[in-house]
Chains A and B, each alone.
Chain A
Amino acid sequence: MAPRAIAMLKDAALTALVTAALGIFIVGFRTIDVGSRTGLSFDYELTDLAVAVIVVFLGRLGLSLAAAGLRWPVIALGVVMVAAGVSPMKLPSGFLHWFVALGGALLVLRGIWPWADRAVAVASHTSGGRLVQEIGAKWLGWALLAVAVVLPFTPLADQKTMDLGVLILTYVMLGWGLNIVVGLAGLLDLGYVAFYAVGAYAYALLSTQHGLGFWAVLPLAGMLAATFGILLGFPVLRLRGDYLAIVTLGFGEIIRLVILNWVDFTNGPAGIGSIPGPTLFGAVFAETAPAGRQTVAEMLGIPFNSNHRLIFLYYVILVLALITNLFTQRMRRLPVGRAWEALREDETACKALGINPTNTKLTAFAVGAMFAGFAGSFFAAKQRFISPESFTFIESAIILAIVVLGGMGSQVGVVLAAVLLIGLPEWFRELGNYRMLAFGLAMVLIMVFRPRGLIGHREPSIRLHPVASAGSG
Chain B
Amino acid sequence: MAYFTQQLINAITLGAIYGLIAIGYTMVYGIIGMINFAHGEVFMIGAFISLIGFMICSLLGIGSAPVAIVLVLLIAMAFTSVYGWAIERTAYRPLRGSFRLAPLISAIGVSIALQNYVQLVQGARPKPGGQIVSGGFNLFSLDGFDVRVSWLQIIIVVVTIVLMAGFAWLIARTSLGRRQRACEQDIKMAALLGVDVDRTISLTFVLGAALAAVAGMLFLMYYGVIDFFIGFLAGIKAFTAAVLGGIGSLPGAMLGGLLIGLIEVFWAGYFSSEYKDVAAFSILVLVLIFRPTGLLGKPEIEKV
B183 CB, nearest partner CB in chain A, Å: 19
Q: A397-B108, A444-B110, A447-B102 are in contact. Are A21 and B120 (CB under 8 A)?
A: no
Which of A30, A235, A253, A444 makes the CB contact (< 8 A) with B277? A253
Binary interface encoding of chain B residues 126-137 relative to chain A, with 1 for a CB under 8 A from any of its CBs, else 0: 011110000000
The answer to whether A188 touches B104 (Cβ under 8 A) is yes
Contacts of B232 in A (CB 8 A): 393
| CB proximity to A under 8 Å, residues B130-188 | 130
B285 touches A444 (CB 8 A): no
Beyond A40-B55, A348-B304, whether A236 also contacts B99 by CB under 8 A is no
Residues of A within 8 A of B102 (CB): 447, 451
**With an 8 A cutoff between CB atoms, is B111 at the interface?**
yes
- A246: contacting residue among B55, B118, B239, B275, CB under 8 A: B239
Chain B nearest CB: distance from A445 CB in Å? 8
A26 touches B49 (CB 8 A): yes
Task: Tell me the complex Cα distance, A257–B274, Å.
Answer: 8
A442→B82 contact, CB < 8 A: no
CB neighbours (8 Å) of B59 from chain A are: 42
Is A25 a contact of B79 with CB atoms below 8 Å? yes
Majority DSSP secondary structure for residues of B touching A? helix
Which of B3-11, B60-68, B90-98, B261-269 lies at the interface? B90-98
B101 with A440: CB separation less than 8 A: no
* Beta-carbon contact of A400 and B108 below 8 Å: yes
Q: CA of A187 to CA of B215 in the docked complex: distance in angstroms?
A: 32
The minimal Cβ–Cβ distance linking B242 to chain A, given in whole angstroms, is 10
Residues of B within 8 A of A394 (CB): 112
**Is residue B220 within 8 Å, beta carbon to beta carbon, of the partner chain?**
no
> In whole angstroms, what is the CA distance A186 to B277 when docked?
28
Which residues from chain A contact B101 at a C-beta distance below 8 Å?
Answer: 186, 188, 241-242, 245
The answer to whether B191 has its CB under 8 Å from any CB of chain A is: no
Residues facing B in A442-464 (CB within 8 A) are 442-444, 447-448, 451
A260 nearest in chain B by CB position: B274
Which of A29, A261, A348 interacts with B55 by CB under 8 Å? A29
A441–B289 CB distance below 8 A: no
A235 contacts across to B, CB distance below 8 A: 285, 289
Smallest Cβ-Cβ distance to A49: which chain B residue? B121
Determine the chain B residues whose CB is within 8 A of the CB of A441 once the complex forms.
109, 113
CB A410 to nearest CB in B, in angstroms, measures 15
A247 interfacial contact with B, CB 8 Å: yes
Taking each of B55, B119, B243, B288, which has the highest tally of chain A beta carbons within 10 Å of its own beta carbon?
B288
Q: Chain B contacts of A393 at CB under 8 A?
A: 232
Give the B interface residue count (CB, 8 A). Answer: 69
**A-B pair number, CB within 8 angstroms:** 184
Tell me the bound Cα distance from A258 to B48 in angstroms. 30
Q: Is the CB of A236 within 8 A of B281?
A: no
Q: Which of B56, B104, B274, B284 contacts A247 (CB 8 A)?
A: B284
Bound: A281/B284 CA distance, A:
47
Say yes or no for A32: interface residue by CB 8 A criterion: yes
Collect the chain A residues with CB atoms within 8 Å of residue B288's CB.
Answer: 236, 239, 243, 246-247
Contact of A440 among B90, B114, B281, B285 (CB under 8 A): B114
- B36-75 CB mask vs A (1 if < 8 Å, else 0) is 0000000001001101110110010000000000000001
B53 touches A25 (CB 8 A): yes
Please state if A443 and B106 are interface contacts (CB–CB under 8 Å). Answer: yes
Contact A443–B109 (Cβ < 8 Å): yes
Q: Name the interface residues of A231-250: CB closer than 8 Å to any CB of B.
A: 235-236, 239, 241-243, 245-247, 249-250
Least distance between A420 CB and chain B CB atoms (Å)? 15
| A30 / chain B contacts, CB cutoff of 8 Å | 121-123
Q: Decide if B128 touches A40 in the complex (CB within 8 Å).
A: yes
Question: Within the complex, which residue of A18, A42, A239, A348 is in contact with B302, where a contact is CB–CB below 8 Å?
Answer: A348
Within 8 A of B (CB), among A252-280: 253-254, 257-258, 260-261
Supposing A31-B51, A241-B100, A245-B35 touch, asked if A443 and B105 sit within 8 A by C-beta, the answer is yes
Q: For chain B, residues 228 to 285, give those with C-beta under 8 angstroms from any C-beta of chain A.
A: 232, 236, 239-240, 243, 274-275, 277-278, 281-282, 284-285
Alpha-carbon gap, A254 to B85, bound state (A): 33
Which single member of A242, A250, A251, A261 contacts B274 (CB below 8 Å)? A261
Q: A257–B278 contact, CB under 8 A? A: yes
Which of these binds chain B: A126-134, A145-153, A202-210, A429-437? A429-437
With contacts A25-B49, A40-B128 taken as known, whether A242 is within 8 angstroms of B116 at the C-beta atoms is no
- The 6 sampled A-B contact pairs (Cβ below 8 Å) are A26-B118, A33-B125, A243-B243, A247-B288, A261-B274, A444-B110
Name A's B-contacting residues (CB within 8 A): 18, 21-22, 24-27, 29-33, 38-42, 45, 186, 188, 190, 235-236, 239, 241-243, 245-247, 249-251, 253-254, 257-258, 260-261, 348, 393-394, 397, 400-401, 404, 433-434, 436-437, 439-444, 447-448, 451
Q: A30-B122, A253-B281 are in contact. List 6 more A-B contacts (CB 8 A).
A: A45-B121, A254-B282, A439-B113, A441-B113, A444-B90, A444-B109
Interface residues of B (CB under 8 A from A): 34-35, 45, 48-49, 51-53, 55-56, 59, 75, 79, 82-83, 85-86, 90-91, 94-95, 98-106, 108-123, 125, 127-130, 232, 236, 239-240, 243, 274-275, 277-278, 281-282, 284-285, 288-289, 292, 302, 304
Top 3 A-B pairs, shortest CB-CB distance: A443-B109, A440-B113, A440-B112
